[in-house]
Amino acid sequence: MSTATVAIVGAGVAGAAAAIRLAERGIGVELYEAVAAPQPIGAGLLLQPTGQQVLARMGLLPEALELGVRVDRLYGDTPAGRAVLDMSYRRFHPDAYGLGLQRGALMGLLWRRLRALGVPWHCGAAVEGFVQDSGGVTLQISGQGTVRHAALILANGSFSRLRAGMKVRQRARHFPWGAVWTVLPAPVGFPQVELRQRFRSASQMLGLMPVGKAAADDAQRGINLFWSLPLAELDGWAARLGLERLKQQMAALFPDVAPLLAGLQHATQLREARYADVRLSRWHEGRVLAIGDCAHGMSPQLGQGANMALIDAHELAAGLGGDWPDVFARYSARRRAHLRFYSQVSRGLTPMFQSHAVVAPWLRDRFFGWGGRLPYIHQQSVATLAGVKTGWLWGRLRLADA
């Protein structure tokens, strides 16, 4: 620990990527992670062209491509066969695709790079609080006393309690719905080129996404299965509903899932996901900066969270120069339009896919499929999915050169 170095709290996608990008530029970084022995686990991710670009700048894209699966299309429909979403990346750019990846595979790549760079990494070090002054930031580590650094980057996820220590207007609200998810072995012949969703109104949603291998020497490819549930039903679902009834509900909504469900034998295979809508009036205060879900948690409906975390890391490291408060203020200004747009879209779209609402999904079913056939609407929808929009009508994200 040193007063010249920057502390990063959280070794998820945002914290690990920021540590890499800063260390690559010769900045002293120390990483603090609450979990004693972090494991490369987590839901399947769709890495958008923006996130892929950041991985490419880090030199990690070739390995990510080896592990993951190119997803060309997102297709969602109702049990009656009405197309609700039909988005092809090629309509955005002939070479564009989403990369279906296991979060564990991505974390494995990032953590290996961290180790290769020799970034000090303190596991089992839960940061409980911080105090900043004009010369630095003092962190309180649970059971380990205090450490002092030149600046602090909070990358400890949507449910960060440290965020409240930043004197900026903020609000973090649980989404009323969450999900259970798992990665199952892909049966022989199971389609692996598109993200497939099936909706019944907004109260049932099943998502299937090819996510490739967990590690380079893994022979088995996986399919990420996502099943939406209201929070009241998510808590204790295994005891109340039971795995067999849940599987029956999935198969009733989307019979094609049956061969995949053969690999789902125990309730413990399904992990629970809860998410929050996090809003901050700005992402910095003096020597403290929030990035990743801690700064702008959103629902996974748009498949942007990990992309945003990678872009945050890239843009932060690309804007170095001067003292940390200036670096952080520049970062906030540079990220504003992009983050604002995706937070708004996420907030607006989520109730159309995860809620007990009746009118919103009815309108969705009638107009999304129809609107998507109009070239301009389709272009805008795919650009939104690709993660490049910075405004409702125009504005495209340009990653900083670095």
Nearer to ligand FAD, 126 or 261 (CB): 126
- Residue ranges in contact with ligand FAD by CB under 6 A: 9-15, 32-35, 43, 45-46, 126-127, 155-157, 162, 179, 181, 226, 273, 275, 292-294, 300, 303-307, 309
State the minimum distance, in angstroms, from the CB of residue 84 to ligand FAD.
Answer: 18
State the minimum distance, in angstroms, from the CB of residue 391 to ligand FAD.
Answer: 20
Name the β-bridge partners of 227. Answer: 180, 206
Q: Which two tokens stand for residue 337?
A: 């339009």
State the minimum distance, in angstroms, from the CB of residue 314 to ligand FAD.
Answer: 14
Cα–Cα distance, 197 to 115 (Å, whole number): 38
Cα–Cα distance, 286 to 274 (Å, whole number): 31
Cα–Cα distance, 167 to 75 (Å, whole number): 42
Helix intervals (H) in 272-323: 293-296, 305-318
Nearer to ligand FAD, 125 or 150 (CB): 125
The letter for the amino acid at 228 is: S
State the minimum distance, in angstroms, from the CB of residue 362 to ligand FAD.
Answer: 26
Nearer to ligand FAD, 45 or 186 (CB): 45
Nearer to ligand FAD, 300 or 319 (CB): 300
End-to-end CA gap in the chain: 27
Cα–Cα distance, 329 to 151 (Å, whole number): 13
Nearer to ligand FAD, 164 or 232 (CB): 164
Cα–Cα distance, 378 to 88 (Å, whole number): 9
State the minimum distance, in angstroms, from the CB of residue 208 to ligand FAD.
Answer: 12
State the minimum distance, in angstroms, from the CB of residue 322 to ligand FAD.
Answer: 25
Residue 138: CB atoms within 10 A of its CB come to 16
Cα–Cα distance, 168 to 166 (Å, whole number): 6
Nearer to ligand FAD, 302 or 329 (CB): 302
The letter for the amino acid at 127 is: V
Residue 37: CB atoms within 10 A of its CB come to 7
Residue sitting closest to ligand FAD (CB): 305
